[in-house]
Amino acid sequence: MTAEKTAFPLPKIQPTTVPLLHLLWRVYGYLRPYWKQTLGAYASLLVILGLNTLIPQFIRWIIDTGVEGNQPNVLTWSVLALLGLTLVKGVLNYFEGTLSEVASQNVAFDLRNAIQKKLTQLSFSFHDQSETGELLSRAVQDVERIRFLTGRATIRILDGALLLMVTAIVMLVMDWKLGLLVLVTMPVLVYRALHFGSRFRPLSLLVQKQLAILTTAVEQNLRGMREVKAYVQEDAEIERFDHENDRWFELSARSAQMQAVNLPLLFLIANMGTVAIILYGGRQVILGQLTIGEIIAFITYLGQLIEPVRRLGMIIPAVTIAGSAAERIFDTLDTVSEVRDLSGAVPVGEIKGDVVFEAVSFSYGAKKVLDEINFSVRAGQTVALLGSTGSGKSTIISLIPRFYDPTAGRILIDGSDIRKATLHSLRSQIGIVMQDATLFAGSFRENIAFGSETATEDDIVNAAQAAQAHEFIVRSQQGYDTRIGERGVTLSGGQRQRLAIARALLLDPKILILDDATASVDAETEHLIQLAFQNLIRGRTTFVIAHRLSTVRNADLIMVMEKGRISASGTHETLLNSSRLYSEIFNRQLVRKETLS
């Protein structure tokens, strides 16, 4: 990629909808549990403010008494005392910084926990529409900006504002004419800083959103690296990332340009006060109306004012960025899960496994996926779902554990509407084994025991043996302690599925949901998986998205799905005689797959 950047049309910056003060008030609410550390930090700040007010006056007295008064002893002891005050100020600065940092780190800790808890609790519909990279950006980068705001940024702003007010009062008391001459630049500084912040905040939000897009691009490339290489898409992915990176560059360059203009302008306005002191104050000294010590005190006070101005120019952008970060974080925390425990929901007791769908319909937005689904399954029966892609099979099995709620109708388990049960009590009795089993970057033991907090070593081994997974586990380098790669990429598809079956067996659910996909494995592996399935489904109500002839033949009920409706249902023998669609699917897909295997 060349150094020359592509020129992108930058979007017109619009003011955000949530008032900044409202966002900041909510952010600072997270400091309440840590009021002791916060109080200690701000108490140190006030003492430092007192020292900053005292020290220039002390310097004035040293100059006028020790130097002008030709008293070496006064000069010596005064300088030592000044050194002592400086040391005290340094110690207080340490406590101020440490205590404020502890409080702000706790705020970040609480926010990350809150975001993680929220993301875990939000329904599938939220995650269907969200990008992983943007959510990661909110949980990491945005929280870090809030941490800075509640810690150092706020301390610096208060320090600067209080020092500005106190110094202004002292300067006016010392010499009101010179004080006014110096302070006349302050309203201009404040206006400039606030004007800059109002323009910089929406731009910073665009920068953060673009950074989230970049994070998503990297995350997707890392997760799909095998596919990228398999389809020879390295150059295309690099070009796509370059395109998004160029856009981020354009936005960041505009942000940097705004800051580059603002900061020198603030310094220019502030330094006009120094010129006023030298010009007007010097004449007053010549006329004998001011002492050298007073002029030096004025310059010292002005030096103390320039520093807050510099901080103002740097901190206000940080505050505006934190405001944008807070807006994104609270947008996540305020999201209401579409699937949640309803008012009055109670834990369901041990279920038998009777399942009934009564006039169930479901839509993804405006697209209707299921239309008036009715069926009844007795406890212990096996139901096979057949149909083409998009016919509604996966939606049916997603509604049973309430990954989604029907848009019409209701689902009953043991005669009770599942929406009246708490999600935890419902899902803890439903086991799910999907074709693409998700495993975690941990040991075999941890992956099998996932979801079972009380599992013993014997329970884990027994579940692995029943799932036909024990042999390949014990042959691995460290047995059950062997760590597998992220998402189980170091394992074969059959091994991953058998581990998922072991996990479901350990849960001992009353209802099972299976994606019986074994067409991509060899005959020996398929035989082992089928043995594991037989152990798994025994005595349980089972819903299977069927891909194999043996599964269909053994099912108690077969439902043929077509365009969101049940086209036909019954046993294998009755459907062969009564349903043309079933016969076509059976002959075209199932028999052919059985023959090829």
For residue 38, give the H/E element and its range. Answer: helix 35-61
Question: Angle between the 292-333 and 72-121 helix axes, to the nearest 10 degrees?
Answer: 10
Burial of residue 7 (number of CB atoms within 10 Å: 0-12, 13-18, 19+): exposed
* Nearest-angstrom CA–CA distance, 328 and 119: 13
Dist. CA 277–CA 111, nearest whole Å: 48
Question: What's the pLDDT at 378?
Answer: 93
Q: Tokens for 443?
A: 């040991």
Q: Could you identify the residue written with the tokens 């997707």? A: 220
pLDDT at position 123: 76
- The answer to whether the CB of 143 falls within 8 A of the CB of 112 is yes
Q: In this structure, are strands 382-387 and 367-377 parallel, antiparallel, or unpaired?
A: unpaired
CATH 3.40.120.10 fits 20-334, yes or no: no
What whole-number distance in Å separates Cα of residue 53 and Cα of residue 168?
Answer: 10
Rounded Cα–Cα distance for residues 300 and 287 (Å): 22
Rg over CA atoms, the chain:
35
Q: How far apart are CA 402 and CA 357, in angstroms?
A: 13
Question: Which one-letter DSSP state was computed for residue 12?
Answer: P
Instruction: Please name the amino acid found at residue 252.
Output: S
Cα separation, 244 vs 240, whole angstroms: 7
CATH of span 355-594: 3.40.50.300
Alpha-carbon span 107 to 144, nearest angstrom:
10
Is residue 356 classed as helix, strand or coil in its secondary structure? strand
DSSP collapsed to 3 states, 515-571: EECCCCCCHHHHHHHHHHHHHHHCCCEEEEEECCHHHHHHCCEEEEEECCEEEEEEC
Domain extent listing, the chain:
20-334, 355-594
Read off the DSSP letter of residue 363: E
User: What is the pLDDT at residue 523?
Assistant: 62
C-beta of residue 491 within 8 angstroms of C-beta of residue 439: yes
Inter-axis angle of helices 176-183 and 154-174, nearest 10: 140
pLDDT at residue 559, as a whole number: 92
Q: How far apart are CA 129 and CA 404, in angstroms?
A: 14
Write down the pTM of the prediction: 0.70
Contact 433, 500 (CB under 8 A): yes
Print pLDDT tens along the chain (597 aa).
Answer: 444 444 444 444 444 556 778 888 899 999 999 999 999 999 999 999 999 889 888 888 888 887 776 777 777 888 898 899 989 999 999 999 999 999 999 999 999 999 988 888 887 777 767 776 678 778 888 898 899 889 888 888 888 888 888 888 898 888 888 888 877 877 777 777 767 766 776 777 788 778 878 877 787 777 677 677 766 777 888 888 888 888 888 888 888 888 788 778 777 776 777 777 778 878 887 887 888 888 888 888 877 776 676 666 667 777 777 888 888 888 888 888 888 888 888 888 888 989 999 999 998 877 888 988 999 999 999 999 988 888 888 899 989 999 889 999 999 999 999 999 998 889 888 888 887 777 887 888 988 888 787 888 998 888 888 888 888 888 888 889 888 866 666 787 788 888 888 888 888 888 988 876 555 555 666 677 777 777 777 888 999 887 767 678 788 899 988 889 998 888 888 888 888 888 887 777 655 555 544
Q: Is 417 helix (H, G, I), strand (E, B) or coil?
A: strand
Alpha-carbon torsion (218, 223, 229, 233), positive or negative: negative
- Residue tagged 């300067």 (tokens): 171
Q: 307 to each of 60, 116, 315, 342, 376, how far by Cα in Å?
A: 20, 39, 12, 55, 75
Bridge partners of 357, per DSSP, are 375, 411
Alpha helices per DSSP H over 348-492: 393-399, 423-427, 444-448, 457-466, 470-474
User: Sheet harboring 416-417: ordered strands across?
Assistant: 367-377, 355-364, 408-413, 416-417
Instruction: Give the whole-angstrom CA distance, residue 139 versus residue 130.
Output: 14
Grouping H, G, I as helix, E, B as strand and the rest as coil, residue 577 is helix
**Residue 361: both structure tokens together:** 């319909």
DSSP state of 586: I
DSSP secondary structure letters along 179-221 = HHHHHTTHHHHHHHHHHHHHHHHHHHHHHHHHHHHHHHHHHHH
